[in-house]
Amino acid sequence: MPTASVDTIAAAATPPGRGGVAIIRISGPESVAIAKAITKQSSIDPRKAHYVSFYDHAGEIIDRGLMLFFRSPHSFTGEDIIELHAHGNPFLLDALLKEILWLGARLAIAGEFSKRAFLNNKIDLAQAEAIADLIEASSMQAARSAVRSLQGEFSAHIHQLVDAVIHLRTYMEAAIDFSEEEIDFLQEAALQQLLKEVLVQFSVIETSAKQGSLLREGMTIVIAGKPNVGKSSLLNALSGKDSAIVASIAGTTRDVLREQIHIDGMPLQIIDTAGLQETHNEIEQEGIRRAWLEIEKADRVLFVVDDPILLQLPLQTLWPEFSRNVSSKPAVTLICNKIDLLSEQARIETRGEYTAIYLSAKYRQGIEPLKSHLKEAMGFEASAEHVFLARRRHLDALMRAKEFLLKAQSNLIERQSIELAAEELRYAQQTLSEITGEFTTDDLLGRIFSQFCVGK
């Protein structure tokens, strides 16, 4: 869906503040003319660094620095691009940008450079999102996975899957058109085998995408329990630092405390909450209200007790308020803390559908098994060699596409209807194409690119 831009945009491509170098990027049909006017150069060679002076329209020198020209279509946006490398003084940068706008450019909106690259077929939608993910990556593993997506690895897998679906659709349409003919590769058994192979291929991509989503988004863990059972000590043990005040006085934590940690590259947001109890203290009541709000939004709750006998009870008896107060029902892991005082060993046990972990947050006993449990609970694998970064949007599209593929399989096997199966495959193809942007809407594009920084 290439489009010709009629205006020229400009923005700072480096973050605000002082530094050695600041970069302003200009893209569009008037880029070269603006660059010539601001540098007083009669000609500009592409892909060559020019050491020049930057002038205002009154002829005064604003700064001296480098200018680079990338001629269309061999540029990031596919348009003529000028980059001005000035000194990293915010006042100089502001004066330079004002001069560029005075000469006819307009200030770019968030993500507009990347959006133009997408619209001019320089990158697809998954690659465009990978740019923002690479900038925001919170670990080296996440950054490497974002680079894989930026290089087109994720898109290549999606294209292969779309091609496989199209291939199967072609056979199905042929089977419909030549239903009277006895052609071996158009028989239902052959079509069922082809569809089975597509589902196997889909499963591999889905697994890698889920790993990539965990690298990007991680999980939210809420630590909950009665006062003085060691919730804050557990937060400190998981984060590896004294993030929360620990005292023998009950009710030390009255607000929500948050820590961001990584386990083998997977980001976790650990949230310590106020002790859950009946109280007439208004401050404690507000802390408890906030605790229940965080529990409602959690991916997993670590419910902490300091008496191993309590873990013999079913969760409904041990924590009846959970069933009453939480509608989302996040997963729960039971934690028996203070084993150093209980003559218990650090270990993991299965309690029906729940896992119970015995540990000492104070002495860091049992913390590594807890971390391993959290990785396993989320299905996270430390090795990210073939993982590409994926967003919630991608997982949603994959989930919907899988539903269409399974419906196609059901129609083919149970209903023996090739026509209905072919229609479900069409929906699957359309849904998968949303990931790369070959089938999308303007509203979706607006939401995606608005999350980018202005100079990108």
Domain-located, residue 417 = yes
Residues 367 and 401 in one domain: no
Residues 361 and 253 in one domain: yes
CATH number of the domain to which 165 belongs: 1.20.120.430
- Beta bridge partners, 374, equal none
Confidence of residue 185 (pLDDT cuts 50, 70, 90): very low
pLDDT value at position 61?
A: 95
Query: Within 10 Å of residue 353's Cβ, how many Cβ atoms?
Result: 9
Residue showing tokens 């934590």: 253
- Beta bridge partners, 336, equal 305, 358
Residues 296 and 182 in one domain: no
pLDDT above 70: residue 261: yes
Which two three-digit tokens encode residue 14? 């480096």
Residue showing tokens 């399974």: 406
Distance CA(151)–CA(142), nearest Å, equals 14
pLDDT digits (tens, 9 = 90+) for 13-32: 998 888 999 999 999 999 99
Domain-located, residue 242 = yes
> Which residue range forms the structural domain that includes residue 58?
9-123
In the chain, how many domains are there? 3
Distance CA(282)–CA(50), nearest Å, equals 66
CATH number of the domain to which 370 belongs: 3.40.50.300
pLDDT above 70: residue 254: no
Domain-located, residue 453 = no
Assess contact for 42 and 92: CB atoms under 8 A.
no
- Beta bridge partners, 25, equal 11, 83
Domain-located, residue 293 = yes
Confidence of residue 3 (pLDDT cuts 50, 70, 90): very low
pLDDT value at position 10?
A: 95
Distance CA(158)–CA(303), nearest Å, equals 40
pLDDT value at position 241?
A: 67
Q: Which amino acid is at 406?
A: L
Residue 356 CA from chain centroid, whole number: 30
Q: Mean pLDDT check: name the lowest of 18-22, 124-128, 310-314, 381-385.
A: 381-385
Residues of the chain with pLDDT > 90, as a percent, come to 36
Q: Mean pLDDT check: name the lowest of 94-103, 155-164, 271-280, 324-333.
A: 271-280
Residues 372 and 236 in one domain: yes
Residues 230 and 163 in one domain: no
Domain-located, residue 2 = no
Residues 71 and 151 in one domain: no
Residues 159 and 244 in one domain: no
pLDDT digits (tens, 9 = 90+) for 99-108: 999 999 999 9
DSSP assignment of 6-26 equals -S-EEEE-S-SS-EEEEEEEE
Phi, psi angles (nearest 5°) of residue 433: -70, -15
Confidence (pTM): 0.64
CATH number of the domain to which 59 belongs: 3.30.1360.120
Domain-located, residue 212 = no
Distance CA(149)–CA(412), nearest Å, equals 34
pLDDT digits (tens, 9 = 90+) for 331-350: 899 999 999 998 889 999 98
pLDDT value at position 247?
A: 46
Residues 189 and 233 in one domain: no
pLDDT above 60: residue 378: yes
pLDDT value at position 243?
A: 56
